[in-house]
């Protein structure tokens, strides 16, 4: 009996699957359109098809992981569970008061998105803990019971509890949970000191509400998926990718569902890091262009950039997450003409159903995919190795009716304009994660993947001065491959707000010991064998008087005075990198202590997939492709036939089952020893 690992990524338009044979070290890939109304169905269908095609039995599946967009789509579409809030008296309106910052300074008509919890479901109870963690006002337990009864009668599916300074003294929140378990044992209760033991009550409340709103949804999705997989013989629970770039068990995902909000984008970055390491690139920018969006992330010194807070649908979410900048620029992004007569692309997408006009599924709006088909850049006959027919006349008609005629343009000029705009949108997104963060793009390599990434990456890279683009062996499936290259990971945090000169080493080491113990306990729960597992420490720091902090790698515990000096030096360096200066005379301050638990997965082979049999540099056809204002006869190659070391001069089109790569005039491409396509952009 063989042993196999399976990765499944559900994107906006397609579901991608990768099956890895641990014995032969070979990969098998599969791709199919999503079932938008039932995301689990495309997973079950794809898994069944791939295992059947490869002759693999469900019992041979040793590992199964997925990247999911269920959490983020649930938040954006407002389909979360009905949530009630119990909070400190006087703080009922915290979700609406927010930070009193205008997201769009000069937009007089800006309206905040609907709150996850309406005002009548937010209940105050008398209690108060001060900033030192001392109880000033005892918890009114009768008010708690009345609040729970009101929320239960109102039909809430979960309750979020957030009291002031509960991260210093959680006694009142724990008592609410105890009362709820006695009176309403089936009502899930989320406590803010367990979800996010940090200061800043608005962010703590938002993150707690987010968990409560997503908890029943994620539990229902994973339960349904597990049941339907069991029906086809797969008993192994599907692990899920988190926003921090690590995977966890379904139970851990249910306990912290907000940690899966950026599951999909994160897995692509992990796959991009795997490819960058193959090429020896320490500095890389990943560009993942799928059906609905493009996700861009920076990798510096071999490390993925991370952030600790984002706002989703008006709700602040604080949790470690890969620093992905997403824009509504995908193959299905719809092109339209605004009131001022300008072409716009996105953020609306045709999605999987009805999809671009050229799919012939009833879509009549022009998309980026339609523009690429009209310009000859995508096959005018078929995609997915012949499993999806293409109708170029429908693409041309959609562009003519909705873009070309309203602007008095030729259809090809309109199609070219659509491509230029979407390329500009992606270039600006890439500038955000590079130039605006103090990094010079000319020192980076771009790793392009997703179904549409290799079609556009060279233009984006050239605009920013990036010298080369790497296209993986299976770019359209790289997100699924990333699931097989990532480690199991979880993060723990505890507020510890003290200036470094006055830190009590005994207190800080007690906190570090607690974080370390919790991390190792999680590893023992998730892994029967913890050999090779590691727990690393970090700290959030700032200068006294600053509003926001920076993450800094911390020395191992226990800390000494020398450890504090190391922290101080590292914080000065981080501040210099982020803001262009540091101040040796200002006092550095600890804000949060963090522990990260990592359980490494077995590595993938260095050469994930080699080109197919009978390598050949002979073009499979020659067709007219639009370059620089006109059609040019362009050689078309099949990626599976390209030999290791094979070189191609642009202009050229390279086709494969899961993606298409463009080599522009003046560019050169070569297949490296791992099967990656390296495009040198030239001057």
pLDDT tens digits, one per residue of 79-114:
899 999 999 999 999 998 887 777 777 877 777 788
Q: Supply angle C-alpha 149, 151, 157, rounded to 5.
A: 120
Mean per-residue pLDDT of the chain = 91
Which of 256, 209, 183, 259 shows the shortest CA–CA distance to 82? 209
pLDDT at 485: 82
Asked whether the bond before 198 is cis by omega within 30 degrees of 0, the reply is: no
Residue recorded with tokens 């800043």: 200
Report, as an integer, the average pLDDT of 522-550. 89
Q: Does residue 236 carry a pLDDT above 60?
A: yes
**Other C-beta atoms within 10 Å of 657: how many?**
18
**Other C-beta atoms within 10 Å of 627: how many?**
18
Residue 611's pLDDT band, with cuts at 50, 70 and 90, is very low
Residue 606's pLDDT band, with cuts at 50, 70 and 90, is low
**Other C-beta atoms within 10 Å of 466: how many?**
24
What domains lie within the chain, and their CATH numbers? 4-75+219-260 (3.30.420.40), 82-214 (3.40.50), 488-599 (3.30.1490), 621-673 (no CATH)
Higher pLDDT: 24 or 86? It is: 86
Q: Quick one: tokens of 157?
A: 């599916």
Cα 408 from chain centroid (whole Å): 40
Residues 275-286 as b or e (16 or more Cβ within 10 Å = b): bbbbbebebbbb
φ and ψ of 491, to 5 deg: -130, 140
423: which residues sit within 8 A by CB, 6+ positions away? 456, 459, 460, 463
Q: Does residue 137 carry a pLDDT above 90?
A: yes
Higher pLDDT: 438 or 667? It is: 667
Report, as an integer, the average pLDDT of 218-237. 90
Cα–Cα distances (Å) from 437 to 17, 247, 267, 414, 534, in that order, read 34, 27, 22, 34, 29
Residue 605's pLDDT band, with cuts at 50, 70 and 90, is low
Q: Quick one: tokens of 332?
A: 């299905």
Lowest-pLDDT choice from 30-39, 231-240, 650-659: 30-39
Cα–Cα distances (Å) from 24 to 7, 234, 604, 638, 673, in that order, read 17, 22, 12, 25, 19
Cα–Cα distances (Å) from 568 to 290, 551, 555, in that order, read 42, 12, 11
pLDDT at 683: 63
pLDDT at 614: 60
pLDDT at 264: 82
- The length of the chain in residues reads 683
Higher pLDDT: 407 or 346? It is: 407
Report, as an integer, the average pLDDT of 463-479. 93
pLDDT tens track for 636-650: 999 989 999 999 998
- Pairing assessment for the beta strands 61-67 and 239-241 based on DSSP bridges: parallel
Spatial separation of the C-alpha atoms in residues 160 and 328, rounded to whole Å: 32
Return the HEC string of 369-380: HHHHHHCCCCCC
Q: Does residue 607 carry a pLDDT above 70?
A: no
pLDDT tens track for 318-373: 999 999 998 888 899 999 999 888 999 988 888 777 889 999 989 899 999 999 99
Alpha helices in 35-188 (DSSP H): 39-54, 70-76, 94-97, 141-153, 171-183
Q: Which residues face 67 on adjacent strands?
A: 9
Alpha helices in 201-299 (DSSP H): 201-231, 250-255, 263-279
pLDDT at 609: 45
For the chain, what is the radius of gyration of the CA atoms? 26
Report, as an integer, the average pLDDT of 59-66. 91
């Amino acid at each position: 009996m063989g042993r196999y690992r399976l990765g499944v990524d559900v994107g906006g338009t397609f579901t991608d699957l990768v099956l890895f044979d641990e014995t032969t070290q070979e990969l098998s890939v599969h791709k199919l359109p999503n079932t938008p109304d039932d995301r689990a169905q495309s997973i079950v269908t794809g898994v069944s098809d791939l295992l059947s095609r490869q002759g693999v039995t469900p019992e041979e599946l040793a590992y199964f992981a997925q990247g999911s967009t269920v959490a983020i789509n649930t938040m954006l579409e407002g389909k979360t569970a009905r949530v009630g809030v119990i909070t400190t008296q006087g703080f009922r309106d915290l979700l609406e008061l927010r930070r009193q910052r205008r997201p769009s300074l000069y937009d007089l008509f800006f309206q905040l998105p609907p709150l996850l919890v309406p005002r009548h479901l937010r209940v105050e109870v008398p209690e108060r803990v001060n900033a030192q963690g001392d109880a000033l006002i005892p918890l009114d337990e009768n008010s708690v019971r009345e609040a729970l009864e009101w929320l239960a009668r109102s039909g809430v599916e979960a309750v979020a509890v957030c009291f002031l300074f509960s991260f210093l003294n959680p006694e009142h929140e724990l008592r609410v949970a105890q009362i709820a378990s006695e009176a309403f044992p089936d009502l899930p209760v989320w406590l803010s000191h367990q979800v996010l033991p940090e200061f800043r009550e608005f962010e703590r409340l938002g993150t707690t509400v987010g968990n409560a709103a997503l908890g029943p949804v994620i539990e229902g999705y994973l339960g349904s998926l597990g049941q339907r997989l069991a029906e086809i013989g797969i008993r192994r629970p599907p692990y899920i990718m988190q926003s921090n770039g690590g995977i966890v068990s379904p139970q851990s995902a249910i306990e912290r569902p907000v940690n899966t909000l950026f599951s999909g984008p994160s897995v692509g970055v992990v796959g991009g890091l795997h490819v960058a390491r193959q090429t020896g690139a320490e500095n890389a920018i990943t560009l993942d262009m799928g059906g609905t969006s493009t996700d861009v992330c920076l990798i510096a010194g071999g490390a993925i950039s991370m952030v600790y807070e984002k706002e989703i649908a008006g709700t602040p979410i604080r949790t470690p997450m890969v620093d992905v900048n997403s824009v509504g620029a995908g193959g299905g992004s719809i092109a339209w003409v605004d009131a001022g007569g300008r072409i716009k692309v996105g953020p609306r997408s045709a999605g999987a159903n009805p999809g671009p006009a050229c799919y012939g599924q009833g879509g009549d709006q022009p998309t980026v995919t339609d523009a690429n088909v009209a310009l000859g850049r995508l096959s005018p006959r078929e995609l997915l190795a012949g499993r999806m027919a293409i109708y170029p006349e429908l693409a041309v008609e959609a562009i003519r009716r909705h873009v070309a005629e309203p602007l008095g343009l030729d259809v090809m000029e309109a199609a070219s304009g659509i491509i230029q705009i979407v390329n500009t949108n992606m270039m600006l997104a890439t500038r955000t994660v590079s130039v605006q963060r103090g990094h010079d793009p000319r020192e980076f390599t771009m790793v392009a993947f997703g179904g549409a990434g290799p079609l556009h990456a060279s233009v984006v890279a050239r605009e920013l001065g990036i010298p080369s683009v790497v296209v993986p062996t299976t770019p359209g499936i790289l997100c699924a491959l990333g699931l097989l290259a990532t480690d199991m990971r979880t993060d723990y945090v505890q507020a510890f707000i003290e200036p470094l000169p006055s830190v009590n080493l005994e207190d800080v080491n007690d906190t570090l010991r607690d974080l370390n113990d919790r991390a190792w306990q999680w590893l023992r729960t998730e892994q029967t064998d913890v050999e090779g597992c590691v727990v690393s420490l970090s700290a959030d720091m700032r200068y006294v008087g600053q509003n926001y902090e920076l993450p800094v790698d911390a020395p191992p515990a226990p800390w000494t005075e020398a450890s504090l000096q190391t922290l101080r030096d590292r914080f000065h360096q981080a501040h210099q990198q982020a803001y262009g200066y540091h101040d040796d005379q200002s006092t550095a301050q600890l804000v949060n202590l963090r522990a990260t638990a990592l359980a490494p997965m077995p590595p993938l082979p260095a050469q994930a997939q080699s080109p197919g049999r009978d390598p050949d540099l002979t073009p499979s056809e020659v067709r007219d492709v639009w370059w620089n204002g006109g059609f040019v006869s362009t050689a078309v190659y099949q990626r599976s036939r390209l030999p290791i070391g094979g070189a191609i001069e642009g202009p050229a089109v390279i086709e494969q089952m899961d993606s298409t790569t463009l080599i522009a005039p003046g560019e050169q491409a070569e297949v490296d020893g791992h099967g990656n396509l390296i495009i040198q952009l030239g001057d």
